[in-house]
Chains A and B, each alone.
Chain A
Amino acid sequence: MTIQTLDLNAAVLGVFESMLALPIAVADEFADAEEGSAAVTGVISISGDWNGAVIVTVPNELARQVAAAMFALDADALTEAEIQDAVGELSNMVGGATKTMLGGSSSISLPSVTEGVRYRISIPGAREVANARFDSNGSLLTISVVQGASKQPIASRKPS
């Protein structure tokens, strides 16, 4: 079970182009988010034959544009809950596509969403097996797919 970067790219480009009508392009592999910039992160856990998670990090400005496209509202009129809902749904679609790429028998969790400045999402024992970066209107969207070290579902692990 492996994840091809090209398939991951196709999934994200499909979401942006067919459903959001927002410009998107694969970013340079060395592109990095602006230090200290605020962002919204959605996490989807996958459990079953393959255990891991898909982490989608969206800079605040782009998260607002994604939500505006989904709700068909002016970006300034959006609530925080609507922005979190939009990033959660974006993560859900990328997570679902990743699960389909993996094959086998697995299920995906509901999205969990967090936001802030200078934070890191860390899943103990998991290692990154694929990542992708995209540029949309000058904002860097990043996807990280991490796989758990054991067969125990990530979502059920107790914090150490």
Chain B
Amino acid sequence: MKILIVDDSKAMRMIVMRHLRQAGFGNHALEEASNGVEALASVNAGTPDLILCDWNMPEMNGLEFLKALRSKSVKVPFGFVTTESSPEMRQTAVTEGAAFLIAKPFTVETFETTLSPFLK
């Protein structure tokens, strides 16, 4: 399976990839994008099986990226990995079609529990 990791911070993308490996998902193909525009191009080139996406990013933020995907009827499972963890943001995420929201800072256990239903 292919996982697309979208975050404007290379440091955070490295942390997410490390947590994926430590949670037992290291056998999946990992792709990176640094904002929504790059992520859309990546999806157009080949739809991933899961998207893990930051909320605040330059060019196109995570919510705009999610809306763009859904407007094109791309139904790939999408989860936010973000500092934006207020009840209001969580509700917005679900309303727009996100499957989950993982708040930073996160743990390996959170990754394991949250992502297991999406990764075989």
B9 within 8 A of A: yes
Interchain nearest-CB distance for B85 vs A (Å): 6
A19 and B82: CB pair below 8 A?
A: no
- B interface residue count range (under 10 / 10 to 19 / 20 to 34 / 35 or more): 20 to 34
Interchain nearest-CB distance for A17 vs B (Å): 8
Report if A108-B105 is in contact (Cβ < 8 Å); known contacts: A89-B11, A96-B83.
no
B94 within 8 A of A: no
B9 and A93: CB pair below 8 A?
A: no
Secondary structure class of chain B's binding surface, majority of residues? loop
B105 and A70: CB pair below 8 A?
A: no
Question: In the assembly, what is the distance between CA of A32 and CA of B86, in Å?
Answer: 33
- For chain A, the count of residues having a C-beta within 8 Å of the partner chain is 25
Question: In the assembly, what is the distance between CA of A85 and CA of B15, in Å?
Answer: 13
Q: Which of B14, B103, B106 interacts with A71 by CB under 8 Å?
A: B14
A93 and B10: CB pair below 8 A?
A: no
Residues on B with C-beta less than 8 A from A70 are 11-12, 14-15
Q: Which of A88, A96, A110 interacts with B82 by CB under 8 Å?
A: A96
Residues on B with C-beta less than 8 A from A110 are 8, 56-58
Interface 1/0 per residue, A75-103 and B, CB below 8 Å: 00000001001101100110111011001
A156 within 8 A of B: no
Q: Which residues of A31-74 have CB atoms within 8 Å of chain B's CB atoms? A: 67, 70-72
Question: In the assembly, what is the distance between CA of A126 and CA of B63, in Å?
Answer: 31
A14 within 8 A of B: yes
B88 and A105: CB pair below 8 A?
A: yes
Report if A92-B56 is in contact (Cβ < 8 Å); known contacts: A19-B105, A82-B10, A85-B11.
yes
Residues on A with C-beta less than 8 A from B28 are none
Residues on B with C-beta less than 8 A from A82 are 10-11
B107 within 8 A of A: yes
A89 and B88: CB pair below 8 A?
A: no
Question: In the assembly, what is the distance between CA of A85 and CA of B7, in Å?
Answer: 12
Residues on B with C-beta less than 8 A from A108 are 56, 83-84
